[in-house]
Structure formats: C-alpha cells, structure tokens
Amino acid sequence: MIKTTLLESGILHISLNRPEQLNALSLEILQQLASIFDQVKSDHSIQSVLLTGEGKVFCAGADIKQLAQLDGVSGLDFAHLGQTVFRRLECLGKPSLAAIHGVAFGGGCELAMAATLRIAAENTVFGQPEIKLGVIPGFGGTQRLARLIGKGRALEACLTGRKITVEEAYQWGLVNEMVASENLLERAKAILKNLSQYSSIAIKSIITVIHQGYNLSMDEAMELEATYFGLCCTTSDKREGVTAFLEKRTPAFSGK
C-alpha cells in the first residue's frame, strides 16, 4: 500500500499506492507511515523524504468506509493516530517535501501540510471538505492550515469545504511552488538534492527552532534560536563551512 525507494542524495521516496481508492488514508496506511517515519529518523543514510501518490491524485483523504464505522471513542483514537503520525513527519529533523498532483483533500491536505515543503502540479486542487460529512479535520488540519494561510482563510476553507485552486494555494502560502505536471517529480528531487549539500545539523536546527519557537513569546523564541546557534558553533560542520567560505571553496559537510 506504500512504496518506498531510496534515491540518490539520500532521498527516501515514499509513495501512497492505493490508486483505485485514490490513495485514501486507512488505518493500515497510517500505521505503515508511522513505521516508515521511525525508520527515517534513525537511518543516517536517509537525508530527506519525498512524498507522492500513485495514479491520478496525491491523496483524496481518509478512507470513508472506515470513517463510517467510527463512534466517539474510535473517532478520537483515529484522530490521535493521524495527528501522531503527521507530527512525527513534521518533527523528523530532516526535510520532507510533498509533491502534489490531482487532488489533496482532507487527510491528504493534512499530510501535505505536515511536510516541510510543498510543491504542486498545475491544476491541482486542495480542500478540507470534512464539514460536508458532518465532521471536522482531525489530523491537524484546522491548526496547520491556520498557521500556513491565516485564521480567516482557514475558517472560510474549513467552514465551506470548498475546493482551493493551486493558484490560490500558492498565493496564500499553502504551497511553495507551482510546477508543470510533467516536471513535478524531477523538480521535487532537485529541491531535496540541493538541500543535501548543506549541514544536516543546521537543517535539523532550523526545522526544530521554527516549529518550537512559533508559539513561544518573542523573547523565549529568541533564546531558543540563540541556544541552537551556539550548539551549531560547536560542530565540525560550522568549522568546515566557515573555513570553506574563507578559502573560496565548496564545503564538504559531515553532519558532525
């Protein structure tokens, strides 16, 4: 149900592989993703993650057949599982990129939002249509959407459940880049390959400080930033980066 391939530059390509079900997120898919993300975090040969979907769409959302069976208790558990898995992706300490095509609805949009970066093919459509099913986004959608595009737009998107065009998604900051469909995968790989040249310690520090500092007071967030800056200054990567700059050569970072 999920295909994984280790590409050059340490990119782990994770592809949702339920094209007949429009790559819907079932309990089994979420459990598989949890296991894969655990592997990514501990495997030093993996530098970054590329997320895609097989077939015509990225991901149409949660599995409706399973959703239909949920009651209050099992619904709470299902939401907690999705939130935990997507938070695990968000906090990998390694960059992840969702390369989105077709549609990213509901849980599919929530999965994409948990990635570090998002690029989308032309004509891709986004949305949080859960209200049409009598529920709300449960995998972090209400919170990440508001943080990415603002509270007002998030309220409108979730309350109406309407489709969000890729042009709107780009203008609002939901996606970082729009790409021609035929170039989507190669562009995604190029972005992650470019990141692989930098210090993995600095990358992890940036991701950590931005996520953890976002909801702190400015003074607390500045202190967090200073702490991680100081930690970076103790590394071999910092010494290599500065030395390479002074010697006018390309640095060779070791992740130490």
130 among known catalytic residues: yes
3-class secondary-structure state, position 133: helix
Measured CA to CA, the distance from residue 200 to residue 118 in angstroms comes to 20
Catalytic residue among 28, 90, 110, 167: 110
Q: Which residue has the tokens 């702190």?
A: 216
223 among known catalytic residues: no
Measured CA to CA, the distance from residue 22 to residue 105 in angstroms comes to 10
The dihedral over CA atoms of 78, 84, 87, 88, expressed in degrees to the nearest 10, equals -130
The gap from C-alpha 62 to its chain's centroid, in whole angstroms, comes to 17
Overall residue count recorded for the chain in this entry: 256
- Give how far Cα 171 sits from Cα of 58, 101, 160, 177, 186, Å: 20, 17, 19, 10, 23
Catalytic residue among 8, 130, 167, 168: 130
Element (H, E) at 12: strand 11-16
Q: Mind telling me the catalytic residues? A: 110, 130
